[in-house]
Structure 1
Amino acid sequence: MSRGTLREVQSGGLALQGVIDMHVGAELRAAGRRLLAGSRTQDVWIDCAAITQSSSVGLSLLLCLLRDAQATGKRLQIRNLPEDMHQIAEVYGLLELLPLAD
């Protein structure tokens, strides 16, 4: 299994991929802060299609990145949230908080 990473992709987007767990959560949060602060666009999206496995740390990370984006005056959109993460978010009542793309 590949270690989780967060990287910048074309046109104001970020890609979250690999295994998102407690071993990489803080590292990905720091990377996300840097990438959001350095983004030149007001609207930033995160593509989650390449997440292969995630614990609740993945949802916590997305919520933290949402807060970080708001703190820098940016709007964040989450794309391709894996079904298992979507189900966990639903159980915990987080779907209303997450700006999911249709």
Structure 2
Amino acid sequence: MIREAGDRLAVEGAMTLPQASALLAAGAGAMAKDPAVFDLAAVSEVDSSAIAVVFAWMREAERQGKRFQIVNPPRDMLSLAAVYGVSDLLPLA
């Protein structure tokens, strides 16, 4: 689901509603570095809950006093963000 990969946290598998709660907890617990950089290159599937998880990770990083970035977001995530009008809010590196 989430593993350390050098200076990044690699998210693997689906980011959909069934995984959202576990992803949220795993991501919040993995934010040891500043900035917290989440690499989404290995994400296989997204739905709208993926956007919610990313924003929850952003809030958690802020709470911990850390910068937060995502890299290699799936094209579907970017499309969903555009549909919802939140593209500018995504913390893309």
Q: TM-score range by the shorter chain?
A: over 0.9
Partner secondary structure for residue 81 of structure 1: coil
Alignment of 1:21-40 (within 5 A): 21-36=16-31, 39=32
Unaligned 5+ runs, structure 1: none
Q: Give the Å deviation of 1:59.
A: 1.1
- In the alignment, structure 1 residue 94 sits paired with structure 2 residue 79: no
Is structure 2 residue 4 aligned with structure 1 residue 8? yes
What pairs with 1:68-83 in structure 2 (closer than 5 Å)? 68-83=60-75
Aligned counterpart, 1:85: 77
* Partner of residue 17 from structure 1, selected from 7, 12, 15: 12
Please identify the structure whose Cα radius of gyration is greater.
1
User: How far apart are residue 8 of structure 1 and its match?
Assistant: 2.1
**After TM superposition, what 4+ stretches of structure 1 lie above 4 angstroms from structure 2?**
none
Partner deviation per Cα, 1:68-93 (whole Å, 9 max, x = no partner): 00110000111011111101101111
Q: 1:35 Cα deviation (Å)?
A: 0.9
CA distance in 2, matches of 1:43, 1:30: 18
| Percent identical residues | 35
C-alpha distance in 2 between matches for 1:81 and 1:31: 18
Provide the aligned length of Structure 1 versus Structure 2. Answer: 93
What are the ranges of 5 or more consecutive residues in structure 2 without an aligned counterpart? none
Higher relative helix content: 2
